[in-house]
Amino acid sequence: MEAIFIYIAKSAVLMLLFYCVYFFLLRRETFFNSNRWFLLSGLIISSILPLLSYTKIVWIDATQNLNTNIESALLSIPEKQNSDINWNYVILAFYGIGLLIFLLKLAIDFYSLNAIIKGKKVKQQADFKFIDTQENIAPFSYFEYIVYNSSLYTATELENIIEHEKVHSDQNHTVDVLVSRFFSIIFWFNPIVWLYKKAITQNLEFIADSEASKKLSDKKAYQYTLLKITAHENCVAITNHFYQSLIKKRIVMLNKNQSKKRNSWKYYVVIPALAAFVLLFQIEVIAKEKQQTVKVSGEGKSVEVYKISKNSTDAELKEIKDKLKSIHNIDFEVSDIKRDAKNNLTSIKVDIKNGSQQTQSIQTSTGDVIQDFGVIVITDKEGKKKVGIQTSEEGKAKGSKVAVSKRITTLNLEKDDSDASENSNIIITNNQNSKTNTNVNINSFTSTKTDSDTNTNISTVVTTDKNNTVTTKIITKKDGSTIAISNSTKGKVKLGNQLIIVDGEEMPENFDVETLNAKDIETMRIFKGTEAITRYGDKGNNGVIEIQTRK
């Protein structure tokens, strides 16, 4: 809806620009045909230029604050504030009513025109079709048709009228009339479009008067004919009719000396104005993060993140694929790509394979763009590589929602069931009504689904290794309370010298987690290995425990 309002505003600005140039610089010049094309081009440019934009990419340093915890992202999504009145729909309804009224008026005008022409005797002469009607209406032309009532005029007056209408018909002025009428209907709420329509119609009369007077021997008699026709009030709206208001201006322009050619510079005034409009409004600056490589000091590990954002192009995705293959010998494939009108990603599926290790990320958005994420490659001091997917905090900050987002990671677990792989994440979630804590080793599969009807977010976590399968469902209710249901409690947490974070604050080294009352803990997350290092640097070498207490 916002895009429609922006388009209408830009179009109105451009229309105003062309009208002002015509009104202040060109309307007193006798460049009638040039003015015709200038005014028509103004309408066309004002409707097309707002749709065209140039994208300028600005590269910035990548941020390193990435978050891979989907449950945390769901908990931070703000509730949408519902309003009793949606003003967008009110404005749209108001516009629709006006549009319907003007379309109905146009239909009536076409019906009236058809009633006048249909069934009448037509006299063909060259490319013109003459209809001598008995109705008391002003003479008019509509494409090749020229309609008049011969009984109302003398032979000289009728000759003047016909020569005038022939110019309209021969130069297809009906097209100009219909185009201006079309724009006045679409932009009926804009007062400039009505002034613009009047300027087009008036200039067409200047053209017809100028051309007709050249073919007539008595220019003064032609002007008297103009004065006589002013007595007619019945005109067909969508036609070029001989009678027009502002007869005085037409007579003045008939007797005006031809403008000097050097005055044609006035047409070029609009060019720098259009250039300024493009520079100000039609250049879209997109900030993209550079690929980052983070070295973890003391351990010889490096972490490389290849970022994928909503405006990543196909060429950039191919570049990531080539780099992963050539540098790390990692297979990277994308599929199910969908984009919106602005070429932003709304859906993407990423499959990554590094030997026996496989990672998959699927993002499908219902009308919104995807959340930024990255392909992370960790290389240890022995040259062994591990690959995964990281999601950004930016999606949380904006409150964006993803209908389906899942990761599939297959890693080799150690044989000891009580100690998971160094890359395992452990989430401990405590329910107010639950008397026990559920310890779950998250390692393989995370699927997140949003129920739009109940505003309840459900995360299903499945851990699979040789000896054990643990399934945990984390349900976040509308009121923010969390319920964790697990079919196993295997995979206990070993306490040691991990970094302890309670409610976002770092605890001292001698802090004992067991001193906390289990009922006071709302959520506990434990990160190990590269996940902890990526989040907290060297401090996370021994693992990190994040605890969120109940407020």
pLDDT computed for residue 124 by the predictor: 93
287 CB burial (10 A radius; 0-12, 13-18, 19+) = exposed
496 CB burial (10 A radius; 0-12, 13-18, 19+) = exposed
**What's the rounded Cα separation, in Å, for the pair 252 and 26?**
15
pLDDT computed for residue 57 by the predictor: 75
User: The tokens of 38 are what?
Assistant: 């200038």
Instruction: Find the helix or strand (DSSP H, E) in which 192 lies.
Output: helix 191-215
More confident residue, 284 or 431: 284
pLDDT computed for residue 22 by the predictor: 96
Q: What's the alpha-carbon Rg for the chain, to the nearest Å?
A: 37
pLDDT computed for residue 528 by the predictor: 77
- Helix segments in 329-384, DSSP class H: none
SS (H, E, C) 201-262: HHHHHHHHHHHHHHHCCCHHHHHHHHHHHCCCCCCCCCCEECCCCCHHHHHHHHCCCCCCHH
pLDDT computed for residue 27 by the predictor: 92
Q: Band of the pLDDT at 366, cuts 50, 70, 90? A: low
Judge whether residue 501 has pLDDT over 80: yes
The pLDDT tens digits for 33-68 are 999 999 999 999 999 999 998 888 776 765 544 444
Average pLDDT of the chain is 75
User: The tokens of 125 are what?
Assistant: 């002469």
Share of the chain above pLDDT 90, in %: 31
User: The tokens of 231 are what?
Assistant: 């007595």
> Per-residue DSSP letters for 370-426?
PPPEEEEEEE-TTS-EEEEEEEETHHHHHT---SEEEEEE--PPPS-TTS--TT-EE
The pLDDT tens digits for 125-148 are 989 999 999 888 888 999 999 999
Identity at 545, one-letter amino acid code: I
The pLDDT tens digits for 213-239 are 998 888 889 988 887 776 555 566 677
Task: Pick the range with the lowest mean pLDDT from 39-43, 112-116, 221-225, 439-443.
Answer: 439-443
Task: Please say whether the beta carbons of 365 and 347 come within 8 A.
Answer: yes
Q: How far apart are the first and last CA of the chain?
A: 39
The number of beta carbons lying within 10 Å of the beta carbon of residue 431 is 17
pLDDT computed for residue 392 by the predictor: 55
Q: What residues does 485 pair with on adjacent strands?
A: 473
- Across 6-20, 409-423, 425-439, 440-454, the highest mean pLDDT is recorded for 6-20
Q: 338 Cβ partners below 8 Å, 6+ apart?
A: 345, 346, 347, 348
Judge whether residue 274 has pLDDT over 90: yes
More confident residue, 482 or 183: 183
**What is the arithmetic mean of pLDDT over 285-291?**
67
pLDDT computed for residue 130 by the predictor: 96
- Across 106-120, 437-451, 466-480, the highest mean pLDDT is recorded for 106-120
More confident residue, 10 or 248: 10
474 CB burial (10 A radius; 0-12, 13-18, 19+) = buried
Instruction: Give the residue from 370, 374, 35 showing the smallest Cα distance to 202.
Output: 35
HSE-up of residue 260 (Cα within 13 Å, Cβ side): 3
Task: Please say whether the beta carbons of 339 and 316 come within 8 A.
Answer: no
pLDDT computed for residue 490 by the predictor: 37
Judge whether residue 395 has pLDDT over 60: no
pLDDT computed for residue 441 by the predictor: 33
Task: Please say whether the beta carbons of 394 and 289 come within 8 A.
Answer: no
Residues in the chain: 551
pLDDT computed for residue 414 by the predictor: 32
Task: Pick the range with the lowest mean pLDDT from 21-25, 107-111, 503-507.
Answer: 503-507
